Amino acid sequence: MKLTGFADEASRDLDKQIAATKDIGWTAISARMVGDQNLHELPEAEFNDVADRLDAAGIVIPEFGSLIGNWGKKIDSDFDITLAEVERAIPRMKRLNTQLIRIMSYAQNPWDEDQNEQERFRRLREIVSRFSDAGLTAIHENCMNWGGFSAEHTLRLVEEVPGLKLVFDTGNPVFQKDRSKPAADGTFPWQDPFEFWEKVREHVVHIHIKDCENPISDDVEPAYTMPGDGQAKLREILADAKSRGYDGWIAIEPHVATVFHAADPTAVDWQQCYDSYVEYGKRFEKLLAEV
């Protein structure tokens, strides 16, 4: 297993992302934000500078954490915006020798509204096809998107979208209801992370590590924890992955010091973020060794 992480949770400054990665003892970053922009949104000259600095530091980028079809984009949004993101991402992935790009299946609608499933499938087919044609792999994350409603929804995406692979996020099931299991009163139970993993694992080529506790309701942020201290069943999932010969990348995405999508990142204590990111990485290495 190879270890990486979303170092923009340590800092939005690239030099500090590199420093935090090296403080843990790693040489890989799952690229997402530099400054206030996603890597595939940076102006060309800025991206080239970032790429050169990563090369000089000996840092590899196994994954792009893109904005493509993410939880902040509705399914009726302009698809040309998505396609432009795809076309910008492809040459940048090739420049950095990055094979994997995280995508999603657009924001969840309220459950009592039309989810526009066929449009989601149509868009993802086009997205995945463009990356596949370029020799790259699009991986869908079980986040606050249609595929994240349940393991069954994710498997439906795999069935409907040829070539789609998965990144499994251990923490996301903890704060999402399982929409495949309606109770008689119309409520839904919390998802079970290990059950979700078991159902989708044969399609998983990448893993994100978060840990947290069930929130008080499904419309508030959960309390994120250090790895192994929450309800994400990290030990069970990692032990099962090891027993099945998983040898891909594992990326930490702590959310401990700050939720990544906080409304006001300027109010964040970035030194705390840096320190907690490094601590998280070291604790995760210890947990993985124990498993």
Prediction pTM value: 0.95
pLDDT at 139: 98
**What CATH number does the domain located at 2-290 have?**
3.20.20.150
Rounded-to-integer distance, Cα 93 and Cα 107, Å? 25
pLDDT at 221: 85
**Which parts of the chain have pLDDT scores under 50?**
none
130: its two tokens: 């463009």
Q: What are phi and psi of 33, to 5 degrees?
A: -105, 140
pLDDT at 266: 64
Rounded-to-integer distance, Cα 69 and Cα 263, Å? 19
Task: Report pLDDT digits (tens) over 35-61.
Answer: 999 999 999 999 999 999 999 999 999
Task: Report pLDDT digits (tens) over 61-75.
Answer: 999 999 999 999 999
pLDDT at 88: 98
